[in-house]
Amino acid sequence: MTASEVQRSSSRTESAPPTTVQGFAHGKAPAGGRTGAPRRALRPSSKVLPEHARSHNRSLVLQTLYHEGSRSRADIARETGLTRVTVSALVAELMADGLVVELGQREDSRPGKPATLLDLDRSAFVIVGLDLSEHSTFSGALLDLDGAISARAEVELAGSTGDEAVEKVVALARTLVDQAQAPVLGIGVGSPGVVDLAGVVLSAPNLGWNGMPLQSILAARFGVPVVVANDANAAVLAEHSFGGAAGDAMLITIGHGVGAGLLLGGTPLFGSRFAAGEIGHVVVGTDGGAVCACGKRGCLETWLSIPNLMKRLDELPDADHDRVLTEAGERLGIALAPVVGALDLSEVILSGPTELLDGPLAAATVETLRARTMAEFHGSLTLRMTTLGQDIVLRGAAVMVLSGQLGVS
């Protein structure tokens, strides 16, 4: 069965009453805190219509099993607020699709027939994740439904741009699809630049892409669902699903350029021109700074991008390195303070080379943020490095496919 058949089967019947999906639609949290499955869903931003209720309910069951694992039909009914009859019908459908399996009977001392435990079959499908954010290499991986990587592949960019670079993406995806031991649920891609919601790369100067319809090109070549998004937006989704990020968080990617992904109330923020988080060419301060590739002076990237940081560190003796990193951290803090204040963020996460970022730079960023925001509201703001390392964009690409195809995240 292909992933598109999974999608089709989810719309076979659309009869469940709309009231059963209210908890999901409004992100309602049961008492006892914010851990657990349904509350961590990326919140749908549009109203749930009755005709969509069944696929929402289906996602609700999948989401519960995805995060909690090993549950009986009665457990799922209790945790989701769906009726036993609805849960049984959805489970039968999900078992027929190969997504849910019975694990056996629960061993407990309660009288009566022991309950049969269910789980998501985490090896039923594989996801192809691609990371196009590195300057010289496109990297990719096969991931299972838990985001674990089972195979990797790379292709050297070797200066390719335009259609030639697209063909390298296709070749990389082909290598991975050919290695897949299970049906491919979809292909997720984290691309540099500004990407619209249809997966068109509107602008990625380094790759020479302007209005490149990468998502539809890959979908046509491979016949599976494809999601293409900005690399930092993919990365913040990985932090939300696998890295424990709060629902209000900003992830800053620091590499060849500087970008950011934003989550507000568990919902990714894209902006009306899909350029939310494009902070690299925001000028920081009024005191000049180095001339940027974009022509302005003192852009955040001139202080913080890895090539610019390395250049300054190479020019100066070791004794001055902490000062350079502290200064870069202060500039980042100055740029982020109004964002943290305006959006009431609780968490800022840095992604990039740990040896440069996780020291005087991060310390200066958090100190500057605290000094420039209101202690009573933002004093508890946390700033940390991502725990997902170099694979953050690959895993975020997998989250986009999981979220789009199964409604889990």
**Type and span of the H or E element at 383:** strand 382-385
Angle between helices 214-222 and 162-179 (to 10 degrees): 40
Backbone angles phi, psi at 126, to 5 degrees: -120, 160
Least distance (Å) from Zn ion to the CB of residue 282?
Answer: 8
**Chosen residue from 281, 321, 372, 378 binding Zn ion by CB under 5 A:** 281
Q: Which residues share a beta bridge with 104? A: 117
Q: Which stretch binds Zn ion (CB under 5 A): 4-12, 125-133, 152-160, 279-287?
A: 279-287
Nearer to Zn ion, 257 or 396 (CB): 257
Least distance (Å) from Zn ion to the CB of residue 292?
Answer: 3
Distance from C-alpha of 176 to C-alpha of 37, rounded to nearest angstrom: 30
Nearer to Zn ion, 292 or 334 (CB): 292
Nearer to Zn ion, 128 or 284 (CB): 284
Least distance (Å) from Zn ion to the CB of residue 331?
Answer: 13
Least distance (Å) from Zn ion to the CB of residue 334?
Answer: 16
Least distance (Å) from Zn ion to the CB of residue 296?
Answer: 5
Nearer to Zn ion, 292 or 361 (CB): 292
Nearer to Zn ion, 281 or 321 (CB): 281
360 touches 326 (CB < 8 A): yes
Nearer to Zn ion, 74 or 294 (CB): 294
Residue 256 binds to Zn ion (criterion: CB under 5 A): no
Nearer to Zn ion, 171 or 294 (CB): 294
Least distance (Å) from Zn ion to the CB of residue 297?
Answer: 9
Q: Which stretch binds Zn ion (CB under 5 A): 188-196, 213-221, 278-286, 384-392?
A: 278-286
Least distance (Å) from Zn ion to the CB of residue 289?
Answer: 10
73 touches 117 (CB < 8 A): no
309 touches 356 (CB < 8 A): yes
Least distance (Å) from Zn ion to the CB of residue 160?
Answer: 24
DSSP letter at 288 equals -
Distance from C-alpha of 271 to C-alpha of 392, rounded to nearest angstrom: 22
Q: Which stretch binds Zn ion (CB under 5 A): 30-38, 174-182, 200-208, 276-284?
A: 276-284
**Chosen residue from 145, 245, 292, 357 binding Zn ion by CB under 5 A:** 292
The tokens of 342 are what?
Answer: 């305006």
Least distance (Å) from Zn ion to the CB of residue 205?
Answer: 11
**Chosen residue from 294, 310, 374, 375 binding Zn ion by CB under 5 A:** 294
Q: Which residue type sits at 162?
A: G
Q: Which stretch binds Zn ion (CB under 5 A): 117-125, 147-155, 191-199, 286-294?
A: 286-294
361-396 burial code (b ≥16 CB/10 A, e <16): bbebbbebbbeebeeeebeebebeebebeebbbbbb
**Chosen residue from 124, 173, 299, 397 binding Zn ion by CB under 5 A:** 299
Contacts of 200 (CB under 8 A, 6+ apart): 211, 212, 213, 214, 215, 216, 228
Least Cα distance to 17 among 78, 108, 83 occurs for: 83
The tokens of 259 are what?
Answer: 């970008």
Binding residues for Zn ion, rule: CB under 5 A, are 281, 292, 294, 296, 299
